[in-house]
Amino acid sequence: MPTLQERAVHEAAHLVVACALGCSPHRVSIRTSRLGYGEMEYELRGLKRNSCDAKLAKAVFKIAQKRIIVASAGFLAQELFFPGAQQIHSKQDRAEIRRFTKLLAGLTVPRQRRHVAAHVLYLRLRALRLIARHHGKITKVARALLNKRELDGKQIAYLMRRQA
Ligand SMILES: [Zn+2]
């Protein structure tokens, strides 16, 4: 079982990376629930009602990429912040990555489909870069999570506004 510190860093990384990608998370928690050892809730917009199919596909592709980056951020940050610690990867995160990788493959023309796995690796790299760039903010949100166990949208917005 991951320690509370590990859980806090994991969820804080999901949150800070989601914010860096333009999303506004409305809840984050390190309480144990039926979903696992914590959770972070956010929404992604970007679909216009009267988009043509090509635009719609492009928007869905972008959303799927962001979902993969945000889902990867949790365990990547755990590995960076706690090197050598036993990693317990969340099933939800892995299922999310698999689901959106399939979606990306479905939106890719057949002759380019073999590049999807490499593209997903590149998305992980983007997650890593965002974690490195926002290292201080992740530490700050993790500290707040350790104190309060759960943060709502208002508390998250306040923490993200202030300098790391
Ligand atoms: Zn996670």
Phi, psi values for residue 56, rounded to 5°: -60, -45
Reported as a single tens digit per residue, the pLDDT across 97-129 is: 999 999 999 988 888 888 999 999 999 999 999
d(CA 137, CA 17): 10
Give distance in angstroms: CA of 109 to centre of ligand 1.
30
pTM: 0.91
Distance 48 CA to ligand 1 centre (A): 29
Which domains, ranges and CATH numbers included, belong to the chain?
4-161 (1.20.58.760)
CA 118 to centroid of ligand 1, rounded, Å? 22
Q: What is the pLDDT of residues 1-54, one digit of tens each?
A: 789 999 999 999 999 999 999 998 999 999 988 777 889 998 877 677 777 888
Q: How far is residue 86 from each of residues 17, 78, 83, 89, measured CA to CA in Å?
A: 23, 10, 9, 10
- In angstroms, rounded to a whole number, what is the distance separating the alpha carbons of residues 23 and 45? 8
Over residues 155-163, the mean pLDDT reads: 87
Q: What is the pLDDT of residues 50-77, one digit of tens each?
A: 778 888 888 899 999 999 999 999 999 9
| Residue of 57 and 154 predicted with greater confidence | 154
pLDDT value, residue 88: 67
CA of 113 from ligand 1 middle (Å) equals 27
Task: Give the DSSP H/E element, type plus range, for residue 149.
Answer: none
